[in-house]
Structure 1
Amino acid sequence: MSDGVTIIDETVPSVARVYDAFLGGKDNYEADREVFRQIDAVAPQMKDLARSGRRWLIRMTRYLAREAGMTQFLDCGAGLPTAENTHTVAQRENPEARVVYVDNDPVVAAHGRALLEENDRTHLVMADLTEPEALFSHPEVTRAIDLDQPLALFQCSTLHHLSDERDPWDIMRRYRDLLPDGSYLALIHFHDPEDGGAASELARFVEDIFARGNMGSGYFRTREQIERFFGDFEVLPPGLVRLNDWWPDGPHLQPHTVADDVALAALARK
């Protein structure tokens, strides 16, 4: 940041912009597209996985706003705006729903200004996702969300960018402790079945590309490791499953691919 202007290094890939490239977006640079091309050359199905994640987010938000009656949403690792964002879905179901996006990417901050102009119930907070106590005491968060009432916390594709050494399980324990009773936790995480099969091979390949690049890392974890993030929360049916298997809108029209097995998602309630 210089004189109030965000300085963006276009030569260093960004998680948010690489994800945007996978979704077919335009808000990315050559460094981001290079990461995308490396993965796409070997595993073109990963594009479909990214889109499955977005569709899962839409279905899950719709369920929370319509069926669970949630009116408060804290979306961590918000990423770049797309056609259907959390606030779009939640406020379509309930115009009174309040959504706070959280990210620490300067590119997201620049695009987030447009979100702030849409309505006074949509907000963007730039904060460190690994510091839940600081986030829950952030003045912009406390102004928008009543932290004494149930809320929906989204950790969609965030925790798999934290190494074991940073202890993401303890970070999530602290988040769970801060959530009021009746709150929900929605989570997507990279998955490695560790069964010697094609999905495990793909997980290792993509993890290696993340590790060798300048963007940071993406870690693929076992089902048991992912389940630990939910602690003693009640994981709702159908459980921790592949993205397309979580209450799909209709029958599966596309054949199952190996990429479907390298991400799992679930919704749980405190």
Structure 2
Amino acid sequence: MTAPNDGSMPLIRQDVPTPARMYDYCLGGKDNFPVDRAAVLAVHKQFPEGVTEARNNRLFLYRLVRYLARDAGIRQFLDMGSGLPTQANVHQVAQQFQPDARVVYVDNDPIVLAHGRALLADDRTTTVIAADMTEPERILGDPETRKLIDFSRPVAALFLSIGHSIVDDDRLRSMFEKVWGVLPPGSHLAFSQVCGVDRATVDEGNEMTRRLGLTWRNRTVQEVVDLLRGLEPAETVEPGLVKVVDWRPDPDQPTLEHVDEPLRPYLESPPENQRSMECGILLRKP
């Protein structure tokens, strides 16, 4: 669902859960509805590590963007499927280290667009565009994108915690390849998604999310490797494809907001045998 051309916002449905609002709930946000909270709790009955992994992914975003801005000198960011504005947003992290950093957020969830545009109404270095991230030609050619992003200079394309929202491998692979193809040397592409420890766990998770009415596909780690195989030439930034919690960990980084009371037991007593995790990787175009 994308925003109409007349600038009005599409209907924000409150009868079905959305990944963006479920993620917001796991991060301690308030931009979610009872249907989203119920879906999160249903997921956690089978996969109690879910809230921890959602939060690990947000902490990964901070370390990743900090590395890109501070260490790699990136000043331009394209955040695909950005989700709701929350803590440590990409533009806020990047501009700590590159004050002139420019960020284009892309999403097609109506509530994301409404909140993002309100937050960034007076920000001339950051914008939100309404588009389906699986239509990269439209995104790359959008006037707002072209206004802020100079594709003759390095860009960081972020695909964080979005792979599981695209069930078709070919469509996801095509999205990566088309964006990668226009990025100049020195650019980076980051990706993270929920992975299961084995095929049976992946299939169980996919059946559960199907029953909840979500468009969702967990994958194995090998399937993630296969998705990214066509991005050549590419250098893998250390430590490669790992659990996001293990990607350049920093115990002193900023913390996240507390979660709602029903989710606290899952943080206080993590499962001994974790069956799913968020995995992430950063690639560099030489």
Q: Give the TM-score of the pair, scaled to structure 2.
A: 0.85
Separation of aligned partners in 2, 1:248 and 1:81: 23
Match of 1:263 in 2: 278
Map 1:47-58 onto structure 2 (within 5 A): 47-58=51-62
User: For residue 149 of structure 1, what is the amino acid of its counterpart?
Assistant: R
- Give yes or no for the alignment of 1:158 onto 2:162: yes
Opposite residue 62 of structure 1, the aligned amino acid is R
The Cα shift of 1:24 comes to 2.4
Against the structure 1 CA distance between its residues 165 and 47, is the aligned structure 2 distance closer, same or farther, given a 3 Å change threshold?
closer
* Contact 1:46–1:259 (8 Å) recurs in 2: no
- What's the CA shift for 1:166? 5.0
Distance 1:138 1:80, change over 3 A: same
Q: 1:1-270 residue pairs with structure 2 within 5 A?
A: 4-117=8-121, 119-164=123-168, 167-194=171-198, 201=201, 203-217=202-216, 219-230=217-228, 231-232=231-232, 233-250=234-251, 258-259=273-274, 261-270=276-285
CA distance in 2, matches of 1:24, 1:35: 15
CA distance in 2, matches of 1:186, 1:87: 16
Asked if structure 1 preserves the Cα contact closer than 8 Å seen for 2:167 and 2:215, the reply is no
3-state SS in 2 of match to 1:123: strand
Change (3 A) 1:257 1:49: farther
SS at match of 1:167: helix
Q: TM-score, normalised by structure 1?
A: 0.89
Letter in 1 for 2:190: A
Runs of 4+ residues over 3 Å off in structure 1:
254-261
Give the deviation of 1:209 after TM superposition. 2.1
Q: Is the 8 A contact 2:195 2:279 kept in 1?
A: yes
Q: Sequence identity, in percent? A: 38
Identify the range of structure 1 (140-149 vs 53-62) with the bigger mean alpha-carbon deviation: 140-149
Does structure 1 retain, via aligned residues, the 8 Å contact 2:117–2:127? no
Alignment RMSD: 2.2
Q: Which amino acid aligns with 1:244?
A: V
Q: Relative contact order (C-alpha < 8 Å, sep 6+): which is higher?
A: 2
Q: Distance in 1 between matches of 2:78 and 2:9?
A: 26
Q: Matched residue pairs, number?
A: 262
CA shift in 2, pair 1:256/1:185, >3 Å: farther
Q: Deviation per CA, 1:2-21: give whole Å up to 9, x if none.
A: 98344211101111111112
Deviation at 1:258, TM superposition (A): 4.3
Q: Tell me the SS of whatever aligns to 1:268.
A: strand
Letter in 1 for 2:151: L
> Residue 80 of structure 1: CA displacement?
0.6
Measure, in 2, the Cα distance between the counterparts of 1:7 and 1:268: 37
**Which amino acid is the alignment partner of residue 142 of structure 1?**
R
Question: Gaps spanning 5+ residues in structure 1: where?
Answer: none
